[in-house]
Amino acid sequence: AQSVAQPEDQVNVAEGNPLTVKCTYSVSGNPYLFWYVQYPNRGLQFLLKYITGDNLVKGSYGFEAEFNKSQTSFHLKKPSALVSDSALYFCAVLRSNDYKLSFGAGTTVTVRA
């Protein structure tokens, strides 16, 4: 069963506008949540994570994400997008009772100048 869902295949925004990439999860217990970014022909780079504590987490390159337990969501946000943010973004969840790290299908972000 899919543990992580990214409902949008693509997100298109203009440079300077806010960027949101959505992620919902469906695992039991307390999840550990992650966001990664992949640039063309590269491996995945870690952006940020939620483990416990403050629901709003800040990460690399000005990105942040908000954990919402009632909505089982962990949306990635950036207040002002840059053209260089154009990439493929993955949400991932780690079940607290084992080591299985599962990824969503990915969302392609295109930021136009």
Partner 1 sequence: NAGVTQTPKFQVLKTGQSMTLQCAQDMNHNSMYWYRQDPGMGLRLIYYSASEGTTDKGEVPNGYNVSRLNKREFSLRLESAAPSQTSVYFCASREVLRTEAFFGQGTRLTVV
**Pick from 84, 92, 86: nearest CA to 109:** 86
In 25-91, which ranges are continuous DSSP H helix?
A: none
Nearer to partner 1, 40 or 113 (CB): 40
> Given candidates 32, 64, 77, 82, which one binds partner 1 under the rule CB under 8 A?
32
Nearer to partner 1, 7 or 18 (CB): 7
* In 24-102, alpha helices (H): none
Contact between 9 and partner 1 by CB under 8 A: the answer reads: yes
CB atoms within 10 A of CB 67: 20
Q: Name which position in 15, 20, 22, 49 contacts partner 1 (CB under 8 A).
A: 49
The binder of partner 1 chosen from 46, 58, 83, 110 (CB under 8 A): 46
What three-state secondary structure class fits 61? helix
- Please tell me the distance from the alpha carbon of residue 85 to that of residue 99, in angstroms, as a whole number: 30
Determine if 51 is a binding residue for partner 1 (CB under 8 A). Answer: yes
Contact set with partner 1 (CB under 8 A): 6, 9, 32, 34, 36, 42-46, 49, 51, 90, 92, 94, 96, 98-106
